[in-house]
Structure 1
Amino acid sequence: MKLLIAILSLAIATPALAHGPTPRKTDETVTVKANAESVWAKVSEPCAIAKWHPEVTACEKVDDKTSNITLKNGGKIQQQVDELDVANKTLSYRLGGEIALEALPVSSLTGRIKVDADGSNAKVSWMARFYRFDTGNEPPEGQDDETAQNAVDGFIKAGLAGLEAGK
């Protein structure tokens, strides 16, 4: 009986020790004092992010779905468009390639930007799901959930503020 209890205890404890990071989420919305069509034109144009996002200093279009983005902090990320739904004004993307820690402290990220008409204004929603940079059980400081959450929250809020300011 003791042996059975020991085996069951080990079987239950083992998956808990192997648990990796939990996916994180950011979901922000702003109202932009411009019509939805003009805001969508900014969001959907390849590399236009360098014009309206204050954290982006440059963008180079690689092909119809891929752009290399340089951030103000010197980091570089590659954005790959998964879907551009013109009818619903929705851009779905992911970060591709190797994501440098100094760019964004995440190991992976998928996002969606949606523009809706709100009277004569535009409601812009930006959602991202991501994992911290270090996906091990005990990440070092700077590669943990809190750091990743703060960085992604800050990036998205800054982008929405840029759109809101009419850049």
Structure 2
Amino acid sequence: MKKIYALILMAVAAPAIAHGPTPQKTDQSVLIGAAPDAVWKLLSEPCAIKDWHPDVVGCESITPLKRTLVLKNGSKINEEIDEILPSEMSISYRLGDIDIKALPVSSLTGRLKVTADGTSSKVVWVARYYRADTTNEPPKGLDDESALNAVNAYVKAALLGLEKPVPKK
């Protein structure tokens, strides 16, 4: 009888031991002293990101829904737009063919949204992603902490950079 209980416990516990990575999330925002339409115009222009993101030094618009960003370190980020909603001032995207030197993630989806906030605009950037190495024991640099730190830094730099080129009211 003890052996049966031991087997049952092992069968129940085994799935808990063999788990994969947990999804990570970045959710950041910034208030910009400019009209929402002006901020939206800048965000919705496919390659304008090179003008306001301090880490992006180049951009190639592949199609209206695909672009390749070139970062300061020479690595590239391929973005594919899933949805553009001008009436909601919202863009949803995902990364394709991810260069882990750019961001140590295996997959990433994101959404940028502009809303009015009093006399200013609020830009919210939410990203969900998995670390670069999805095995149970990822090496340093490809783990959850590295993914979280890299995506947080990328988004924060973007939001801070976005404040500069937007025409004030």
TM-score if structure 1 supplies the norm length?
A: 0.96
Match for residue 122 of structure 1?
121
Structure 1 residue 103 displacement after superposition: 0.6
Q: Does 1:76 align with 2:54?
A: no
Question: 1:146 deviation in Å?
Answer: 0.5
Give me the whole-angstrom Cα distance separating, in 1, the residues matched to 2:75 and 2:138: 21
Query: Which residue of 2 is the match for residue 140 of structure 1?
Result: 139
Identity, in percent, stands at 53
Query: What residue is the counterpart of 2:16 in the other structure?
Result: 16
**CA-based RMSD:** 1.0
C-alpha distance in structure 2 between counterparts of 1:118 and 1:166, whole Å: 19
For the pair 1:156 / 2:161, whether they are aligned, the reply is no
Match of 1:157, SS state, is helix
Equivalent residues in 2 for 1:56-95 (5 A)?
56-95=56-95
Give the deviation of 1:33 after TM superposition: 1.1
Amino acid at match of 1:49: I
Q: Residue deviations 1:90-111, cap 9 Å, x none?
A: 00000012x1111100000000
Q: Would you identify which runs of 4 or more consecutive aligned residues in structure 1 move more than 4 Å? A: none
CA-to-aligned-CA distance 1:28-69 (integer Å, 9 cap, x gap):
011011110010001011111111111101110111110011
Match of 1:101 in 2: 100
Higher mean displacement: 72-81 or 84-93: 72-81
- AA partner of residue 61 (structure 2): K
* TM-score between both structures, scaled by the size of structure 2: 0.95
Letter in 2 for 1:115: V
Aligned residues: 166
SS in 1 for 2:42: helix
Please give the alpha-carbon distance, in whole angstroms, between the structure 2 residues aligned to 1:19 and 1:105. Answer: 20
Structure 2, unaligned runs of 5 or more: none
In the alignment, the residues of structure 2 paired with residue 85 and residue 73 of structure 1 have an alpha-carbon distance, to the nearest angstrom, of 32
